């Protein structure tokens, strides 16, 4: 239930895992909880990106800002790249 609530807040697997570890949950339980959630993390990252920025990055400075935002939210580099590509493709 904790993982689901964090996903609905727009947090990624890295940040959720860190929060669980801070609460004293063992690593294997954290991995099992994240693996048990059948979620397309790239789609979650894309939804968070669109909700926050509404338009795709027009230049490299804006793109870097969006990447930092998603990284802070706890998404992996691959998920961030996929989200940025998907957001750009959605507007084409």
For 26-67, the pLDDT digits (tens) are: 999 999 999 999 889 999 999 999 999 988 888 899 999 999
Q: Which of 51, 43, 54, 50 is nearest to 13 (CA)?
A: 43
Report the phi/psi class of residue 26: left, alpha or beta, with left for phi > 0 and alpha for psi in -120 to 50: beta
**What stretch of H or E contains 78?**
helix 77-91
> Which domain covers residue 56, as residue numbers?
2-91
Per-residue pLDDT of 68-85, as tens digits, reads 999 999 999 999 999 998
Helix axes of 77-91 and 60-73: crossing angle, nearest 10 degrees: 130
The answer to whether 8 and 70 have CB atoms below 8 angstroms apart is no
State the total domains in the chain: 1
């Amino acid at each position: 239930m904790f993982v689901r609530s964090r996903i609905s807040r727009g947090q990624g697997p890295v940040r959720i895992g860190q929060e669980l570890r801070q609460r004293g949950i063992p690593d294997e339980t954290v991995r099992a909880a994240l693996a048990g959630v059948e979620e397309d993390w790239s789609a979650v990252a894309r939804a968070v990106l669109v909700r926050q920025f509404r338009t795709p990055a027009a230049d490299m400075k804006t793109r870097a800002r969006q990447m930092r935002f998603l990284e802070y939210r706890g998404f992996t580099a691959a998920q961030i790249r996929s989200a940025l590509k998907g957001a750009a493709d959605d507007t084409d």
